[in-house]
Structure 1
Amino acid sequence: MRKIAVFALVVMLFSISCFAQPAATSEFFVNDFADVLNEETENQILAIGAQLQKDTTAQLVAVTVDTTDGQEINEYTLNLGRKWGVGQEDKNNGVVLLVAVEDREISIQVGYGLEGRLNDSKVGRILDNYAVPYLKDNNFSEGLENAYKALTSEIYAEYDIEMPENFDLPEALPEEDEDIDILSVIIFIIVLLVIFSGGRFLPFFHFGGFHGGGFGGGFRGGSSGGGFRGGGGSFGGGGASRGF
């Protein structure tokens, strides 16, 4: 009985965290709940997002909120992406770009299918180079639009599709500048030790099993009738955030 009560509590807390986020607007790709974006930026993001989905099936969603109400911004953004089902269910190719205006924080969370291209290091550089300098001056329109365009360029590069010229998108960041993934290096060293020790090195390691944090994306965007909505994509916690 006690286990059932604990399980019910966990489910309830998860449900609360999911439903704390607002429902997506019918425009889906741009959701300015904090009312800080000018009309030109909203129209530009909407046009780019619609074209990106048409060309690649990926979904890139920009969101502004006043505050996350005390919830850690990466967790908030992750839950929002799951609730809205950003990205396609069979490709998990969604990205959420979210600014919490009063909290002075910005987060980018990436679906499983794009984490290879948009790893944590690259996402952090996009925030540092394209968003934070403008957000510090309260220029939310330019900061969000710049970051959105930079992410769009990376997604087009991932699918090896030529970018539309009419959106003035920046070039994708070069792969050779990527920081080395420390976890990958550690795993590589362990594999080498096992190989060259004939397996004798293996018993000294006791692995407890690692499990990704992803959830199935069985949620749809909050719009009804016309407009855009999510395709049911999944997120696993890849991304980065910054304060400004």
Structure 2
Amino acid sequence: MNQRKTINLKSIFNLKTVWLFVLFPTFVTIHSFPVPKLERRVMDHAGILSEATVNQLESNLKQFETETSNQIAVYTTPSLHDETIEDVAIQIFDEWKLGQKSKNNGILLIIAPNERKMRIEVGRGLEGALTDIQAKHIIREQLRPSFKSGDMDGGVTAGVNAIMAAIRGEYTPSEDDVDTTNSESDEMVSGLIGGITTFLSLFVPGFGGLVVTIIGILFLYILLAFIFGGTFGLIIAIALFFLVIFLKKFFGLGKGGGGSGGYYDGGWSSGSDSWSSSSSDSWSGGGGDSGGGGSSGDW
């Protein structure tokens, strides 16, 4: 009898152990930082930098990447969401894939002004050029004094300059580097052509109008995929195609001129009104990851 009780207790214990291991990963992943989409080299979500500083840093870091292939990103966050800045830095770094994949030469400078925390996260390929001690020195000598005096622009600029100086001679561009800077001008032109073509297709009857609409939507898809990603861009493009069909039937556009006129279609505006005509750049990581250490600090 006692032996049976012992066996039952062991079974219950083992069952609880199994459930613990099953549920543990769930608890771990619940509290993950909401990593934003990487859009540019300097992302001031906390609003602590002036526009002039953001633009100057963006230009300097772009030129630095062109000359060295090293990728440096600056991110300010309004909240760490109750996580440590070390964990948040690694999550962001690896999600953005900073640095070239073949070199792992990325750097992330993250600043959380509400928690008064900052960290320099280093890719594995740069741990020799920017050691933990050097990163700590940059935080102590360049960032912290300016932050304490309220000069966020000066602190970030000095910190970024010190990081660039430390890693400048470590790598040079090579043939297998990923082109991480993409001009939006081609996508904007494609969207403009697609919007105008789709609009004109409203007045083309029959099968010819269908063909013109398909061509217009295909050009629009290039822009939609660039903005929303391939999957969502495709969904939006398909939705626009059926919207065109509905509107053309509803308003009776494109009828006459023979054929099966009135068959589909109904317009979308020229498509260019909601997009800027300027040729700004988007930026992406090169496939690298973290693991090279770094240093954290406060002020």
Whole-Å Cα distance in 2 between the matches of residues 145 and 35 of structure 1? 15
Equivalent residue, structure 2, for 1:20: 34
Whole-Å Cα distance in 2 between the matches of residues 57 and 6 of structure 1? 42
Of 116, 119, 122, which aligns to 1:107?
Answer: 119
Kindly state the Cα deviation for residue 236 of structure 1 after the two structures are TM-superposed.
Answer: 1.2
Equivalent residue, structure 1, for 2:109: 97
Unpaired runs of 5+ in structure 1? 162-221
Moved more, 66-75 or 5-14: 5-14
1:25-174 correspondence to structure 2 within 5 Å: 25=39, 27=40, 29-159=41-171
Whole-Å Cα distance in 2 between the matches of residues 243 and 223 of structure 1? 36
Residues 157 and 237 of structure 1: CA distance in aligned 2, closer, same or farther (over 3 Å): closer
Unpaired runs of 5+ in structure 2? 1-14, 174-225, 230-280
Preserved CA contact (<8 Å) 2:71 2:98? yes
Whole-Å Cα distance in 2 between the matches of residues 234 and 67 of structure 1? 23
Kindly state the Cα deviation for residue 68 of structure 1 after the two structures are TM-superposed.
Answer: 0.5
Whole-Å Cα distance in 2 between the matches of residues 223 and 242 of structure 1? 36
Equivalent residue, structure 2, for 1:168: none
Equivalent residue, structure 2, for 1:169: none
Equivalent residue, structure 1, for 2:289: 234
SS of 1:158's equivalent in the other structure is coil
Q: One-letter code of the match for 1:71?
A: E
Kindly state the Cα deviation for residue 148 of structure 1 after the two structures are TM-superposed.
Answer: 0.6
SS of 1:142's equivalent in the other structure is helix
Whole-Å Cα distance in 1 between the matches of residues 29 and 170 of structure 2? 33
Q: One-letter code of the match for 1:41?
A: T
Residues 138 and 3 of structure 1: CA distance in aligned 2, closer, same or farther (over 3 Å): farther
Whole-Å Cα distance in 2 between the matches of residues 4 and 90 of structure 1? 40
2:298 aligned with 1:243, yes or no? yes
Q: One-letter code of the match for 1:157?
A: G
Whole-Å Cα distance in 2 between the matches of residues 235 and 118 of structure 1? 13
Residues 43 and 12 of structure 1: CA distance in aligned 2, closer, same or farther (over 3 Å): same
Equivalent residue, structure 2, for 1:6: 21
Kindly state the Cα deviation for residue 160 of structure 1 after the two structures are TM-superposed.
Answer: 7.6
Kindly state the Cα deviation for residue 11 of structure 1 after the two structures are TM-superposed.
Answer: 6.2
Preserved CA contact (<8 Å) 1:223 1:229? no
More helix by percentage? 2
Residues 117 and 137 of structure 1: CA distance in aligned 2, closer, same or farther (over 3 Å): same
Moved more, 103-112 or 5-14: 5-14
Whole-Å Cα distance in 2 between the matches of residues 237 and 223 of structure 1? 32
Preserved CA contact (<8 Å) 1:86 1:231? yes
Structure label with greater radius of gyration: 2
Kindly state the Cα deviation for residue 20 of structure 1 after the two structures are TM-superposed.
Answer: 2.0
Residues 224 and 235 of structure 1: CA distance in aligned 2, closer, same or farther (over 3 Å): farther
Whole-Å Cα distance in 2 between the matches of residues 237 and 159 of structure 1? 15
Kindly state the Cα deviation for residue 223 of structure 1 after the two structures are TM-superposed.
Answer: 7.3
Whole-Å Cα distance in 1 between the matches of residues 104 and 27 of structure 2? 26
Residues 3 and 57 of structure 1: CA distance in aligned 2, closer, same or farther (over 3 Å): farther
Preserved CA contact (<8 Å) 1:23 1:223? no
Whole-Å Cα distance in 2 between the matches of residues 79 and 35 of structure 1? 21
Question: What is the TM-score normalised by the length of structure 2?
Answer: 0.55
Kindly state the Cα deviation for residue 158 of structure 1 after the two structures are TM-superposed.
Answer: 2.1
Identity between Structure 1 and Structure 2 (%): 29
Preserved CA contact (<8 Å) 2:122 2:130? yes
